[in-house]
Amino acid sequence: MISSKAEEKISTRIIIDVVLLIIAAIPIPLFYTGVFTPYQRGFFCDDETIRYPYRDSTVSDFSLYVGGLAIGILTIFLCEFVRKLFVKPEDESEFHIFGRRVPATALYIYASTSLFLFGCFIVEVATDFIKYTLGRLRPNFIDVCKPDFDCSSLTNPHKFVENYTCTNPDTYSVDDSRLSFPSGHSSFAIYAILFSVIYMQKCLICPHSKFVRPALQFILLLMGAYTAVSRIGDNKHHWSDVIAGSVLGVVSAVLMFYIPRNNLARSEEAKMKEGQKMSTNLELYGSI
């Protein structure tokens, strides 16, 4: 039977986790409420890479964040639900947290979901920090900004223009046109997708068909790739922005799994063998 000291340790860990999640999420709205402004970068008059027309996003911000969060969380629930089907009820461990009985499956779901959300917050903060620090101009910058500087009057078209004013009254769109590097759609989508793919690889049990898991993983990878590549076609990002964002997403997803020792990367077979070994379950949770 699990000791009261161990139960208290779990409860304390949950409180700390929630506090850290809140702290990690705090900077995110600050980037979207005008608290921070992007670096005001100049441009070369003959730079054709920033003269593309404005287009609406194929994958909207709402679809990106809601879809990414839904995919990650649903993947966790799916894997743990399938795992539970292959675990006998009498082998399911239980914990007492905050005075309530909690099955091991619920703790697995909580630990995995909190890890996924923490990674979401980290990749979003890192992406926005780089965006606002560098202020790289989007491919549609000239069309959105509509600078008051007349480049056609110059004898030297390669002149670097720093003193100019955007005539577009929509300041939010103008600021957004300075946030090209790295691609936020790419970093968040690739993180959410890769986290889900790795989670499936490590935790999804498919005894009846060996093609179910790779098929699901392939579909998710296509969704992530489509989201990233669409940013180039929408004239929102340069190809290097998309690559950088994708790399950031990959690194973040891998770190969420492989920096903590003995974490969620354990095989489901190892989970099932634990049965009623609550102390081992405690070790799993404490290592996440």
Q: Which residues form the catalytic set?
A: 185, 237
Question: What is the three-class DSSP state of 273?
Answer: helix
How many helices (H) and strands (E) the chain has is answered by 11, 4
Q: Is the dihedral of CA 245, 220, 257, 22 positive or negative?
A: positive
Give Cα separations from 210 to 68, 177, 185, 213 (angstroms).
26, 46, 32, 7
The CA–CA distances, whole Å, from 216 to 62, 67, 75, 193, 227 equal 23, 16, 10, 11, 17
Report the C-alpha gap between 159 and 153 in whole angstroms. Answer: 11
Give CA–CA dist 7/12, Å, rounded.
9
| Pair of tokens at residue 148 | 């008051």
Q: Report phi then psi at 277, rounded to 5.
A: -80, 85
Q: How many CB atoms lie within 10 A of CB 222?
A: 11
What CA–CA distance (Å, rounded) separates 37 from 74? 35
Buried b vs exposed e over 86-113: b needs ≥16 C-beta within 10 Å?
ebeeeeebbbbbeeeebebbebbbbbbb
CB atoms inside a 10 Å sphere around CB 195: 29
Interatomic CA distance for residues 43 and 163, integer angstroms: 10
